[in-house]
Amino acid sequence: METTQNKPIVIDTPAGIEHWRVASAISMLSLEVKTGMKATRYSLVKACEMNWGCPKKTKAGALKWMQAFYEETYGRPYGAA
């Protein structure tokens, strides 16, 4: 009997890939803000500025802006099912 839980998720459309990029940026920013950890190879704030035009210069500011951007773009809050 085959289970559906073990099937990989394939994101193969430009819209799907962009959605994943935005969601992963929010997730990484959230982790950095909540734990104080930081990415060693790149600045997430700089990446958000370059990719989506985020005007904020702090991690907490960028996180709030990205969550608002997500809600405006996808019509629901980040993390809502």
CA distance 13 to 29: 24
Work out the burial of residue 74: count CB atoms within 10 Å of its CB; fewer than 13 is exposed, 13-18 middle, 19 or more buried: middle
Work out the burial of residue 7: count CB atoms within 10 Å of its CB; fewer than 13 is exposed, 13-18 middle, 19 or more buried: exposed
CA distance 12 to 9: 10
Q: Residues 7-32: pLDDT tens digits?
A: 788 899 999 999 999 999 999 999 99
Confidence of residue 81 (pLDDT cuts 50, 70, 90): low
**With the CA atoms of 14, 24, 79 and 31 taken in that order, what torsion angle do they form, in degrees rounded to the nearest 10?**
-170
User: Any idea what DSSP says for residue 43?
Assistant: -
**What integer pLDDT is reported at residue 39 of this predicted model?**
78
**pTM of the full structure:** 0.84
User: Are residues 60 and 33 in contact, defined by beta-carbon separation less than 8 angstroms?
Assistant: yes
